[in-house]
Structure 1
């Protein structure tokens, strides 16, 4: 919900605290329906991609956290492991009944009953201030129109400048992504952040270069397997050169399934580090670990190599990329005018500077880690 909260803030709706579990509940329902209708051949678990959020918000709307906390005891952390087991067992039984011609037409209502017990019943209407809303009308009040968001990726096994279905296990909904060359994907990402948009980021975080405890993510020039014990212990403590990540190298690691789809996060800005290049300020969801209180500063090399995809408002893309993809950046009611993208296709003119988006996030400390020598960052609004 952090990404949508930032979008509401960008569109002048102020700081809002949206219910993550309202969306999670509906996505579980969609997954169960998909699994049974596909006779047990689809993914059914916790994983998902950014378009799952947008699809749920489009169909069901959104509500404040105060209206739908989604748990009986707010003091306890979320744990849906038992819920997943129960849903999987239930849906597998539905599949068996369907193959035997004995499936009740009310099977989906049984899924709803289980979800109601876990998350609570979904509110039909609620009051914010002195105004009554439904989940759909509240979504519209915030100006969030899911169809205005695009999903961007970069892989050579599909044609560039066309949509494709990304082949990762969590793409259970068969979501489509615009395929850009790596340089264009990075230019689009930088441009969006420079235009004060934040970005939802899907990435590989299971490699040794991603260190949440140190608040840093890098692709060192020297491979991890070639390092001594001492070199591994000193990783992330001092600056070191990073790999030059090409389109070919990125594709090679994806094809070998070294690069995998792991985790969704929220990019809220760019740090311009004098010697080590650009770092992206990423809001993680693993708690306030490290000196950065849960943020991770991600190097440009890491972003080039380990980005599976990112999601952003279509108006945030450079004008020439919009035209090439056939995207029409019409102003959206309740959002204000479209951004004014730099029309030049020259990637060098989109060099990131000392910019961050006005996302609804807590300020990141200026000192990001011992390995980064200098950083500059504008303050951003505080929030969840």
Structure 2
């Protein structure tokens, strides 16, 4: 009987010893602005890329500036509308876009502060674009049906008017730190040059070290991606962080094993039923190959559904390394009872990353040569 009890105690001890809650220690922590919420919108692309630019502004000028996410959204919608109309409705029109669309907006329209352009009406405190997107799409669908039998260009000012009603008119100038700026002169002050940033991905259906247009629904603007090996995609991200550059991330967070609540994302070797189960202990993860990554992309298990901003790295108590991603779902709430960051394992990153965007100087030198940058 004593032997049985002793055996049972040893088993219990082993289970307790193995079932470890994640305990993270930050190893790289680059400067970034506070976590904020994108509200009830599909504009993670602007919130994450704007956060990325805010870190770049800190790196380039030493200034911490809260730039307007909604100014970038406001200046991207007319381009989405153009694509939708010119393709006669045979394209996606939604709240989604990608990080390079923010760069395109900055290149065309400059930058402004959130104080100068909040995208909120009086008494509003949270963003909600459901009605605006529905109104825009319904209006564009009418124009596409062409009831007048000759499509006019009236849809262009009509789109601008709807955006002005819901988000506000774009400022022609504004004040910052006692000086008056236009959006373009403010961009110049921040030293942000959109041409300095590149988007990197890794897929086997295209040649490595060349650019190609990635066919995903949110790439309405036909942005080009540099294709590298999977190990190089990880190396790019790690090199950037270790040399003082943050990273913009497009990835899939639809997996059960992504948990904003528990601030961890991994790919356990064995299937789990729910988020609480997989976060209860550190589990052995799958080995992610380029072939498996490609298969999951082509069968739609991996899609581009969320963008975040990687600002650092961390390790768990077993020494496993993670990328620390700043999310845009707020912090210290019932949904996200933490500081609003997620620790992403290398396996999760390898399998679920669609692309990263970095300053070209953040690329390893040997890879820059391969890409001709």
Task: Please report the TM-score for the alignment, with normalisation by the length of structure 1.
Answer: 0.81
| 2:356 match | 310
SS across alignment from 1:85? helix
Using the alignment, how far apart are the partners of 2:168 and 2:324 within structure 1? 35
Match of 1:37 in 2: 86
CA contact (8 A) 1:239 1:276 kept: no
Q: 1:106 aligns with which of 130, 154, 169?
A: 154
Give the number of the structure whose alpha-carbon radius of gyration is greater: 2
Spell out the pairing of 1:1-384 with structure 2 (5 A cutoff).
1-73=50-122, 75-97=124-146, 101-224=149-272, 233-273=276-316, 275-288=318-331, 289=333, 290-327=336-373
In structure 2, C-alpha distance between the alignment counterparts of 1:268 and 1:282, rounded to whole Å = 6
In the alignment, the residues of structure 2 paired with residue 81 and residue 52 of structure 1 have an alpha-carbon distance, to the nearest angstrom, of: 20
**Aligned counterparts of 2:313 and 2:276: Cα–Cα separation in 1:** 27
Structure-2 change in CA distance of 1:233 and 1:43 (3 Å): closer
Contact 2:54 2:65 in 1 (8 A): yes
Structure 2: 5+ residue stretches without partners = 1-49
Q: Is the 8 A contact 2:261 2:338 kept in 1?
A: no
Higher relative contact order, chain-length normalized (CA < 8 Å, sep 6+): 2
* Alpha-carbon separation, structure 2, partners of 1:254 and 1:121: 39
- Taking structure 2 as the reference length, the TM-score comes to 0.83
Contact 1:201–1:311 (CA under 8 A) maintained in structure 2:
yes
What is the alpha-carbon root mean square deviation over aligned residues?
1.6
SS at match of 1:117: helix
**SS at structure 2 position matched to 1:72:** coil
Distance in 1, matches of 2:319 and 2:285, equals 9
Q: Distance in 1 between matches of 2:175 and 2:276?
A: 54
More displaced stretch, 182-191 vs 69-78: 69-78
Q: CA deviation at 1:274?
A: 5.0
SS of alignment partner, residue 77 of structure 1:
coil
Q: Deviations over 1:7-36 (max 9, x none)?
A: 000112410001111111111111112211
SS in structure 2 of the partner of residue 68 of structure 1: coil
Confirm or deny: 8 A CA contact 1:155 1:251 kept in the other structure.
yes
**1:309 Cα shift?**
0.3
Which range is displaced more, 285-294 or 195-204? 285-294
Distance 1:220 1:276, change over 3 A: farther
Structure 1 residue 276: Cα displacement: 4.7
- Give the Cα separation in 1 of the matches to 2:168 and 2:337: 36
**Take 2:294 and 2:321, find their aligned partners in 1: how far apart are those partners?**
22
Q: CA deviation at 1:272?
A: 3.1
State the match for 1:338 in structure 2.
none
Higher helix share: 2
What is the deviation of 1:130? 2.6
Q: What is the number of residues matched between the two proteins?
A: 321
